[in-house]
Amino acid sequence: MARIIPTLPPRSAFGAGGHAELALLHTLEQGLSGAYTLFHSVDWSRGVGEHEQHGEIDIVVVNQAGDVLLIELKSGPVDFAPGGIFKNYGGHSKNVTGQIGLQYGALRGRLHDAGLGVALHHLLVLPDVQVHTESVQWPRERIVDSGEMDHISTRIAQTLGPGLRRADTLARVLAFFENRFQVVPDVSALAGRLQQQATRMSAGLATWVPRMQVPSGLVRVAGTAGSGKTQLALRLLKDAEAAGLKAAYLCFNRSLADHMARVAPVRTPTETFHEYAVRALRSAGQTVDFAAPGAFGAIASQCIALLQDHAPDLDLLVLDEMQDMQAEWVQALMERVRHNGRIYLLEDPEQQLYKDREAFDLPDATTITSFENFRSPRALVKLINGLHLTGTEIEALGPHAGELPDPIVFDNPEAIQPCTIQAVERCLARGFTLDDIAVISMRGRERSQLLGLDTLGAWTLRRFTGAFDAGGAAAWTEGDLLVESVRRFKGQAAAAVVLTECDFAELDALNRRLLFVGLTRARVHLEWVVSHQLAAIVQKLFAN
């Protein structure tokens, strides 16, 4: 059986355009012997500056001699014309033969520059077309059509052959395609590509939820972390902006609201419930005193009273993090929506982190559930399921396999800082930059040893000070490394996360939800700093 690099996500993780490639990979994996290695979605580039060219090769087959076969897969119909083979993409015709020639030339040049004098072949695979003729620019013997798909492994073996094993050459060719020739892996670029892939894969909610016809206009989406709720919110806001509708986005967490403000349409208010409440009260001429005891509770109560006499002003309301909202806040905010307007309530009950919140029903709502995680490394989802952190098992559909964390265990509170420093250094050693890393504490500001620091090791810290300015904006320190609490970082993610100050005595319901939130913040890699006590609990759970 052939080896596939990188390992494949589940079939359901591929979009419609990727199913043909996935099916072909599985066919070749089973049909070819261990003498072959398969690479898929191989990025290439050549040239510099304005002459730089980029592309992606669907599948690269390498035999044990190091010889190479490039496979370009085109599903659906194609057109054979005197000038070549063409495929139509939404009204735009693309020259397939030109694309193949460019790929072939680029790879031949790159292999030559690397001192790899190996044979290079190319096949065009057309799984949905029967070819009765050929293009002048592309010989028929280099095409595999629908009638030959059952024997494609044989065709590849005939074209490339297993070759005579040349261990040194093979190792260099495999390293070339794995990009191991880089001294330091560009994990930032990897994180960017993974984020783009995860965004494409998790677009399901954003694609079909807005199309639903709901008589009440009230839609409740209960989606797990990484299921695409943020994409759905952005799609709704952008569609409303394009249609000239008045929309608003509200959530509970200030950090999430700030993030949404950077990506949502400029004219759409994106704020927390309390920010909106302050703005509404000040617009009504009421005074807001942040220094008063129970200030935020008073602000909420005053806002609810004000909204009772407020005329509806919205065509669309997107209310995020609803699991953290009080029922009376939600009901008051829904009154802002005009007749025939739409309301979308986004939530994940597994991320409810406040003891005074209670679940509530909305009888008129159409409810949609999603337990698919497209963002987290699949190994972390496996860990989450193994620890039974959620009531319903999460389906791991992310593009990155990742790896289970190797916990750094501390025996006493004095060891938390040096262990956290060690975890950050591990991330840096993997090629992540300080901008890629978020240090997330499982404790709140009052109990944390980290959230009040100005430096950690050699790094200055960027953290919330706990204070607000006169306008209610959070005050932050300036620093190189982000440190934040798990509650405040909810709704966000980072390429590399150091999850620290994890010292639960037991995994009760609240601690399970806290840990679930923490583990789902990492897009690529997670370092885990845990107490000896929690490490024993985790080990026991996995042993069972």
CATH classification at residue 9 = 3.40.1350
Give the other-Cβ count within 10 Å of 326's Cβ: 18
CB 229 within 8 Å of CB 221: yes
List pLDDT tens digits, range 302-323: 999 999 888 999 999 999 999 9
Query: Tokens 């694609």 belong to which residue?
Result: 207
252 with 113, same domain? Answer: no
221 with 366, same domain? Answer: yes
- Residue 139 in tokens: 């010989």
Q: Which of 378, 377, 396, 461 is closest to 191 using CA atoms?
A: 377
Residue 434 lies in domain: 378-543
Q: Which of 344, 341, 388 is closest to 365 using CA atoms?
A: 344
368 with 388, same domain? Answer: no
397 with 306, same domain? Answer: no
- With respect to residue 280, please indicate whether it lies within any of the assigned structural domains: yes
Structural domains of the chain, count:
3
CB 325 within 8 Å of CB 252: yes
Residues in the chain: 544
Domain end point (choices 373, 392, 425): 373
Q: What is the pLDDT of residue 14?
A: 43
Q: What is the pLDDT of residue 288?
A: 83
- With respect to residue 486, please indicate whether it lies within any of the assigned structural domains: yes
CB 77 within 8 Å of CB 129: yes
292 with 345, same domain? Answer: yes
- With respect to residue 189, please indicate whether it lies within any of the assigned structural domains: no
364 with 258, same domain? Answer: yes
384 with 247, same domain? Answer: no
Which residues of the chain are under the pLDDT cut of 50? 10-17, 48-49, 51, 180-185
> Tell me, what CATH number does 270's domain have?
3.40.50.300
CB 427 within 8 Å of CB 437: yes
Distance CA 471, CA 507 (A): 39
Q: What is the pLDDT of residue 15?
A: 43
Distance CA 220, CA 218 (A): 7
- With respect to residue 192, please indicate whether it lies within any of the assigned structural domains: no
153 with 209, same domain? Answer: no
- Residue 58 in tokens: 């669907």
Q: What is the pLDDT of residue 322?
A: 93
The amino acid that residue 306 corresponds to is: L
- With respect to residue 151, please indicate whether it lies within any of the assigned structural domains: yes
170 with 239, same domain? Answer: no
Report the alpha-carbon angle 153-159-165, nearest 5: 90
51 with 95, same domain? Answer: yes
Distance CA 104, CA 396 (A): 35
- With respect to residue 330, please indicate whether it lies within any of the assigned structural domains: yes
- With respect to residue 198, please indicate whether it lies within any of the assigned structural domains: no
426 with 363, same domain? Answer: no
Domain end point (choices 317, 343, 373): 373
- With respect to residue 187, please indicate whether it lies within any of the assigned structural domains: no
400 with 368, same domain? Answer: no
Q: What is the pLDDT of residue 12?
A: 41
Domain end point (choices 342, 373, 404): 373
Q: Which of 454, 524, 516, 443 is closest to 484 using CA atoms?
A: 443
